[in-house]
Amino acid sequence: MADQTIWAFSEKPALLAELIAGARQLSGAAAAVVVGPRALCEQALAAGADRVYWLGETSDSRLVEDYVPTLAALVTEQQPAALLIGATKRGKAVAGRLAARLGTSTITDVKRLSGEPGSYQAEHLIFGGGAVRTEQPHGLLLCTVGQAAFEPLPPEPGRTGPVVEVPFVAPPWQLQLRERKEKPPVSVNLAAAKRVVCPGRGLAKEEDLALMRELAQLLEAEIGCTRPLAEGLNWLPRERYIGVSGANLKADLYIGIGVSGQVQHTVGISEAHVVVAINKDKTAAIFQQADYGIVGDLYTVVPALIKALQARK
Partner 1 sequence: MNIVVCYKLTPDAEDIEVKPNRTISLEKAEWNIGEYDLMAIEAGVQLVEAVGGQVSALSVGPHQTAASKAKKDVLSRGPDDLYLVIDDALANADTHLTARLLATAIRKRGPFDLVLCGEGSSDLYFQQVGLQLGELLGVPVINAVSRIMPADGKVIVERSLENEVEVLEVPLPAVLAVTADINQPRLPTMKEILKAGKKPVTEWTLADVPPAGGLQESVTVLSTLAPKQVERKQIIVPGNPDEAVQTLIGYLSKEGVL
Smallest distance, partner 1 to C-beta of residue 112, A: 12
Closest Cα partner for 213 from 229, 193, 197, 202? 197
103: contact with partner 1 by CB under 8 A: yes
Neighbours of 58 (CB within 10 A): 16
Cβ neighbours for 131, distance < 8 A, ≥ 6 positions apart: 125
Longest Cα–Cα distance of the chain, Å, equals 71
119, 141 Cβ separation under 8 angstroms: no
Is the alpha carbon torsion for 301, 307, 311, 313 positive or negative?
A: positive
Q: What are phi and psi of 31, to 5 degrees?
A: -120, 145
Cβ neighbours for 185, distance < 8 A, ≥ 6 positions apart: none
190: contact with partner 1 by CB under 8 A: no
132: contact with partner 1 by CB under 8 A: yes
Range 218-237, binding partner 1 (CB under 8 A): 219, 231
**Between residues 48 and 129, which has the closer beta carbon with respect to partner 1?**
129
**Between residues 99 and 229, which has the closer beta carbon with respect to partner 1?**
99
Smallest distance, partner 1 to C-beta of residue 12, A: 9
280: contact with partner 1 by CB under 8 A: no
Closest Cα partner for 212 from 305, 308, 313? 305
**Among the listed residues 79, 217, 300, 310, the single contact to partner 1 using CB under 8 A:** 300
C-alpha torsion angle, residues 14, 18, 24, 26 (rounded to 10): -150
128: contact with partner 1 by CB under 8 A: yes
Choices 16-24, 106-114, 148-156, 201-209; region in contact with partner 1 by CB under 8 A: 106-114
Smallest distance, partner 1 to C-beta of residue 198, A: 15
Range 142-171, binding partner 1 (CB under 8 A): none
313: contact with partner 1 by CB under 8 A: no
**Among the listed residues 22, 199, 243, 293, the single contact to partner 1 using CB under 8 A:** 293
272, 242 Cβ separation under 8 angstroms: no
**Among the listed residues 30, 203, 212, 294, the single contact to partner 1 using CB under 8 A:** 294
The helix (H) or strand (E) run that includes residue 301 is helix 298-312
93: contact with partner 1 by CB under 8 A: yes
Range 7-66, binding partner 1 (CB under 8 A): 65
